[in-house]
Amino acid sequence: MPPPVPPKGNSGKVWGVVGAIAGVLILGSAAFAMIHRSGSTGGSSGPKFRITVPKTLAGGTFTLAKDISQQANTSVPHDGTNAHGVTSAGGQYTSGTKSLVMLGLYGTIDDPQEAVDHTLQGMTRDGNTHVAVPDKKFTPTGGGDSLTCGVDVREKMGQKITVPYCVWADSSTSGNVAETDASDLAKNPSSIDLQAFADTASKIRGEVTKPL
């Protein structure tokens, strides 16, 4: 678990902690998605893709600060009831006061929708995180496959931290992105433009997903 949240005025440490919190949320949710049962729908067929960790994301907006692929591979099972032969890849990225964590899994996913559903459940199972804006599907502006996005709020040592996120999955990959902003830790969740965040997440999905 991340260390206690420091005072808001200490922006450098705040940035590090909020980034760690976002990482804990999506690493935990990925592991949760792997160990829960769902029916097999033939995920082994069709094109195969892998998840990469580029130096920048969202058209250069975010810059890689730390590759968390090794940590993810240690934390996330390689085989579960809904995914098999899984490799994890991810990174923590920064843009000004914003920290964005991207985590992807690739292998064989039996039921992509179940993977998304269990990922969402995993984000709030720690007891310190609750749903602030319920998840729903968003179609990226200009078209493309939908993503499931929402806003969670995590509370640690009395400090609330707002975390918008998006999740997606198909037969060979799944991915999560979560963002925090040290300049406005407890931003009003309902003020977040989730369509805009979904558009950014869709762009990220395209940048990190490559054919095998």
pLDDT of residue 21: 65
| Average pLDDT for the chain | 85
Pairing of strands 173-181, 159-169: antiparallel
pLDDT in tens, 144-180: 999 999 999 998 778 899 999 999 999 999 999 999 9
Instruction: Report the predicted TM-score, pTM, of the whole model to 2 decimal places.
Output: 0.86
Tokens of 57: 């994301």
Q: How confident is the model at residue 7 (pLDDT cuts 50, 70, 90)?
A: very low
| 123 or 33: which leads in pLDDT | 123
Beta strand segments in the chain, E: 49-51, 56-57, 62-67, 83-95, 98-109, 129-138, 147-156, 159-169, 173-181, 209-211
Q: How confident is the model at residue 37 (pLDDT cuts 50, 70, 90)?
A: very low
pLDDT of residue 84: 86
| Structural domains in the chain plus CATH codes | 11-37+47-211 (3.40.1000)
